[in-house]
Structure 1
Amino acid sequence: MTLAETVSQTVNDGELQRFIEKHRRLFVLTGAGCSTDSGIPDYRDTNGGWKRSQPVTYQAFMGEELTRKRYWARSLVGWRRFGKALPNATHHALARLEQLGKLALLLTQNVDGLHQQAGNRNVVDLHGRLDTVRCMGCEHRSPRHALQQTLLELNPAWARLDAADAPDGDADLDGHDFSNFTIAPCPRCGGLLKPDVVFFGENVPRDRVATAMQALEAADAMLVVGSSLMVFSGYRFAHATAKAGKPIAAINLGRTRADSLLSLKVERSCAEALAFL
């Protein structure tokens, strides 16, 4: 790192601290960059592009049995580490922000539940939670860890496989024949099980958006932490904040969709930028 870059980061750190101190009620939106230090990979590069193939779509998951088999096979392997992930310094810093009474709401695009593990209580999981499984027939919800045991019992040969981690509990199981994988049915009605998360091509529940927008109206500034905001479900809140004439600060390594709307941008890791908390 050059001297100029070091000075720039120091200035940004001071500006970020002043931004947080100045605003009484912050609307915080978090993304994958919050959880990379917990061992959960992110989706995008510093230019906002995909690092790997795009995630499975809702339409493909619901309409194609082989897609569901592929998803659950990869999830069986990926859940071993994802299910044991722990909060990192970024999560603890944002929990401290809530303890200080500075948080109007923490809206997270992540599905890992690590903000709640760190102590945040005023959280909306915009895209749902991966630790819960939903039946698309009877709407029964059940714990993901219980499904893991069922999948292992149904697919003992797959239990011995390992692979590199991919975002959101996925694993890079390339080159395998997924046709012989057995999917577990709903334990209550025998219906189709899906993680209780919003897939690409699926709509975010209206009540979550409404709750977040209400909190945004009560906030006096927005803080984006570890999100490129490339997905509209998150970007809409930055757009609404700017339209309301409220300032936005962002911590993100690389480009965001809302760069032109920002009052302050800090291009550092989330944990480093929020270390003062």
Structure 2
Amino acid sequence: MNRILKCMVVLILLSSMATLCYAQSQSSAYQDVGIAEAEESLRTFLSSIDNERSGADIRITSQGDFATSAGDYYEFETDEGNFKVYKKTGEVESAWFYQDQTNSGKSDLSKDESLKLAKEFAQEHYPAFDNLNMVLIDSEKSEGNNGRARYLFKWYEVENPLFDTEVYTSNYVIIAVEGGEIAGYIGVERETEVSLNPEISESEAMEKAVSAISLPADPDGNYEYDNKLCISYFDGKQNLAWYINIDNGMDSWGYASGGQAVIDAHNGDVLLKNPYM
């Protein structure tokens, strides 16, 4: 297979993993699987995609360990792409498929057709997809390789413990479809370890966020907010947190004013602040 740089797909998917609800558990309830078991899990995963190919025929090369603040992975490479297997469970949680230049003339699917393909892939490879309240929260279209369309679909499990407040949990699926084929997949399922009931209200979190990113007070309510309540990890600890995104328009120099702050919804700590520069 003629490989091409997967830079665009990788950048889009990696950035998605670092967005508002990037969260993975480091529960000690599991013992890490061995590399041989992880490799066998990958063979099973790839064989399920191509039923005509035996898992024994797949050449797998270890790329070593891939460590993150939210958990550790085995990284592998095959002719098909790059894959990461979560050490705690042996599940393939990240797949980047190399695109084939010979398919450059293949017709694109429509957005609805691409969504159908992505959902079918998620249902097959993310076992909990039909058992959780997985909500499609975003679908983006961009230009992929060789002028083909790329669609990025994101599902998160959403819970409503207080009926009027949605909480995005640490269970999510992100799938990229390019040129009518699956180009990338991320699927994470984790147990919720914290209370989903916030002790810090959204308005209190907004006030803390304005102060944290050094914006002037907003007594007239002119700031625009796009806020979400999520389960996230900081310093290896699971948190229920408000993600406060503030748009203050343009400053006198013509630059965007505002930023993002993450506020712990239980104790009000500022977990992250990122003012626009």
Asked if TM exceeds 0.5, the reply is: no
TM range, smaller chain: under 0.3
| Greater length-normalized contact order (CA 8 Å, ≥ 6 residues apart) | 1
The structure with the greater share of residues assigned to strand is: 2
The structure with the greater share of residues assigned to helix is: 1
Larger radius of gyration: 2
